[in-house]
Amino acid sequence: MKFDVLKKSANTTARLGILETSHGSFQTPVFMPVGTQATVKTMTPDELKEIGAKIILSNTYHLYLRPGHELVKEAGGLHSFMNWDGSILTDSGGFQVFSLGKLREISEEGVTFRSHIDGSLHFIGPEISIEIQNALGADIIMAFDECIPYPANYDYVLKSVERTTRWAKRCQKAHNNIDSQTLFGIVQGGMYKDLRRKSAMDMVSLGFKGYAIGGLSVGEPKNVMYEVLDFTVPLLPDDKPRYLMGVGSPDDLFEGVTRGIDMFDCVLPTRIARNGTVFTKNGKLVVRNATYAKDFSPLDLDCDCYTCKNYTRAYIRHLINTNEILGIRLTTIHNLHFLINLMKQIRKAIKGDYLLQLKDEFYSNFGIYQEVNKK
């Protein structure tokens, strides 16, 4: 993997970069659609390419359970298994197993957990996470970390940060495919400035080729997340990609980019699409609502995605109200296109030194994205 910063933003910490993996190169900042179970829900790889996706994320925990990493390896790896020849990043499984709540137990060795599918008992530690990710063969893989809940007390977070560092070292040691897969470290530390600093220093001292900021967008207010970014990003090396995990509302993308983040992923666009909610330049629109029953305009008036070029709000509402799959296909295409196109505009604005203007204009139209049932 190769990463170069092409240009730094004049008035913000944003930068335009280029990231090259053995499955192609793409400019950063970049949004990565999430393909949890070796598929970005409802989409074909061809459709992902059509909307400009260059890198997608897939989940170690889910693929370990089904179909199993050994099977994916036998298929020639994840790219071949799912017929996607662009870049892939896999997470470590950490976030998912910690999200299981009472179904899991943490020790120094790793995490024992019960499958959410059949309750069967499993264990993933740093070595196994890397073994799974080596079998899956993604271009970028992640260190196995502990993702703590919010809020969490200082002592717990301190112990967790120390363990996450020890686990990161074990991941480095276990990583076998150094030539074809790049391992990123993850900075944790909750909302505590000195623990984020400690975690960042620890990770940087281990010398990763990229750094993620984990444990954000876990229920804390947006301004708390932005503050953590304010003091964490400057601790990371300038010449390495910085990845903000699990964050992807349109306003958060602006806030992350202007603070120096290069990579984002989030299930938000695909998840809300399946619920009949879409992004428009004027904010979110719940196309399921009766208001749109006879609205024969496209989801977003001057969007050029496949959905907006061909279908009306009235038709999409009908499809979603009658549980027709085409409905959530069309909203998914639109939402992913929206974020990928937004990132394209952001990159152009970094290049042309008008990022803050673009951001102001965006906020005056779109506003802040707030989820009604934010977990």
Q: List residues with catalytic annotation.
A: 91, 265
The only residue of 161, 191, 212, 328 in contact with a second copy, by rule CB under 8 A = 328
Minimum distance, C-beta of residue 163 to a second copy, in the bound complex (Å): 31
Minimum distance, C-beta of residue 298 to a second copy, in the bound complex (Å): 11
Beta pairing partners, 30: 263
Per CB under 8 A, does 41 bind a second copy? yes
For 145, what's the count of Cα atoms within 13 Å in the CB-facing half-sphere? 28
Q: Are 206 and 169 in contact (CB under 8 A)?
A: yes
Per CB under 8 A, does 73 bind a second copy? no
**Collapsing DSSP states into helix, strand and coil, what is residue 366?**
helix
Which residue, 8 or 288, has its beta carbon nearer to a second copy? 288
Per CB under 8 A, does 318 bind a second copy? yes
The DSSP secondary-structure symbol of 4 reads E
E strand or H helix that includes residue 187: strand 182-187
Q: What angle do CA 292, 254, 372 make, to 5 degrees?
A: 45
Q: Residue written as tokens 């073994």? A: 131
The only residue of 100, 152, 314, 358 in contact with a second copy, by rule CB under 8 A = 314
Per CB under 8 A, does 235 bind a second copy? no
Tell me the pairing of strands 87-90 and 283-286. Answer: unpaired
Which residue, 153 or 291, has its beta carbon nearer to a second copy? 291
List the interface residues with a second copy, window 181-200 (CB under 8 A): none
Per CB under 8 A, does 61 bind a second copy? no
The only residue of 8, 25, 52, 75 in contact with a second copy, by rule CB under 8 A = 75
The only residue of 27, 42, 181, 277 in contact with a second copy, by rule CB under 8 A = 42
Minimum distance, C-beta of residue 86 to a second copy, in the bound complex (Å): 14
Per CB under 8 A, does 296 bind a second copy? yes
155 to 161, 163, 363: CA distances (angstroms): 10, 12, 38
Per CB under 8 A, does 39 bind a second copy? yes
Beta pairing partners, 225: none
Per CB under 8 A, does 131 bind a second copy? no
Per CB under 8 A, does 286 bind a second copy? no
List the interface residues with a second copy, window 202-231 (CB under 8 A): none
Cβ-proximal residues to 46 (8 Å cutoff; 6+ apart), any chain: none
Q: Measured in whole angstroms, how far is the alpha carbon of residue 163 from the centre of its chain?
A: 23
Per the structure block, which two tokens stand in for 102?
């009472």
Distance between CA atoms of residues 247 and 214, nearest Å: 10
Distance between CA atoms of residues 17 and 59, nearest Å: 25
Minimum distance, C-beta of residue 232 to a second copy, in the bound complex (Å): 35
Which residue, 293 or 368, has its beta carbon nearer to a second copy? 293
Which residue, 61 or 211, has its beta carbon nearer to a second copy? 61
Question: To the nearest 5 percent, what fractions of the chain are helix, strand and coil?
Answer: 45, 20, 40
Distance between CA atoms of residues 293 and 318, nearest Å: 7
Minimum distance, C-beta of residue 119 to a second copy, in the bound complex (Å): 17
Task: Tell me if the bond preceding 67 is cis, omega within 30° of 0.
Answer: yes
Per CB under 8 A, does 312 bind a second copy? yes
Minimum distance, C-beta of residue 17 to a second copy, in the bound complex (Å): 31
With contacts defined by CB under 8 A, how many residues of the chain interact with a second copy? Answer: 35
Which residues are near a second copy by CB under 8 A? 37-39, 41-45, 62, 66-67, 71, 74-75, 81-83, 293-294, 296, 310-312, 314-315, 317-319, 321-322, 324-326, 328-329
